[in-house]
Amino acid sequence: MRIRSFILQPLLAGLPLAAAMSGAAHAQFVGDAFFVEPSVTAAPGGEGAVQVAVFAGTQAVGAAQVTVTYDPKALEVLGVDPVEAGRITTAMQWRKEGNVLHIVMVNGASLSQPIGTVPLGKIRFKALGAVGETTELWAKAIEILKPNAEAIPPGLEALKGDVTVAASTTTTARIAARSMPSTEPSLVKRALGMRPAGGTVTLQVVDGAGQAQPVQVQIPPAAARRE
């Protein structure tokens, strides 16, 4: 009995922290659908991917439905691949309706997981634009359910992501290493549409040579949803 208490206490103590960290990591409001890595690059005619997720805070997610709106002249959606939500394998289905992707995730594996950021799927696309062009995608939560079927109110706003067509791209690891901080107002505004709750966003900015340059933008934390 004492052993059990000894083990449980640190675990229990760590849970809120983990949840809080999870929320802080992406700095979303509960109920938002968003892109995990909101600004990505792709070569002209090349393939790229963005991962869409919902944020549920400390609540477990039983099912979620989001829409992703995109410009079919700039992107050709090739498919949506399932992703693991932590250690939970969820089921995902998607359908394309015009320029809107409907993505549905259901969780038949756990009643207590996943919590926090819950990835739904990875959208694979082909970039149709020219070097230097940036196209936006918008993720919107339609319905999020706890495993007991109670609703988690979906965020009212559609959150932005973008795809920049670059002559050459950088890998995610190199982005972190090479990204430069910026407080340039237009970049802050661009990042704010991706992380309205605040946090750090790495944007892809194309230089004169068509090379994508990662730029870090710090968004001040918002106590509440901006109206």
Stated as kind and residue range, the H or E segment containing 33 is strand 33-35
Query: Which residue of 143, 167, 200, 218 would you call a contact of another protein, by CB under 8 A?
Result: 143
Encoded amino acid at 26, one letter: H
Query: Which residue of 53, 94, 135, 160 would you call a contact of another protein, by CB under 8 A?
Result: 94
Q: How distant, in Å, are the alpha carbons of 23, 41, 147, 187 from that of 171?
A: 25, 9, 36, 21
Nearer to another protein, 150 or 184 (CB): 150
Q: Decide if residue 65 touches another protein (CB under 8 A).
A: yes
Mind giving me the DSSP string for 172-224? HHHHHHH-EEE--HHHHHHHHTT-TT-EEEEEEEE-TTSBEEEEEEEEPP-SS
Of 34-42, 88-96, 166-174, 202-210, the window that binds another protein (rule: CB under 8 A) is 88-96
The two tokens of residue 11 are 């675990």
Q: Decide if residue 35 touches another protein (CB under 8 A).
A: no
Q: Decide if residue 98 touches another protein (CB under 8 A).
A: no
Nearest distance, CB of residue 145 and another protein, angstroms:
6
User: Binders of another protein among 112-141, rule CB under 8 A?
Assistant: none
Q: Decide if residue 63 touches another protein (CB under 8 A).
A: yes
Q: Decide if residue 70 touches another protein (CB under 8 A).
A: no
Contact (Cβ atoms closer than 8 angstroms) between residue 217 and residue 191: yes
Query: Which residue of 91, 130, 156, 176 would you call a contact of another protein, by CB under 8 A?
Result: 91
Selection from 190, 35, 48 nearest residue 129 by Cα: 48
Positions touching another protein (CB under 8 A) are: 62-65, 91-95, 102-104, 106-111, 143, 145, 147, 149
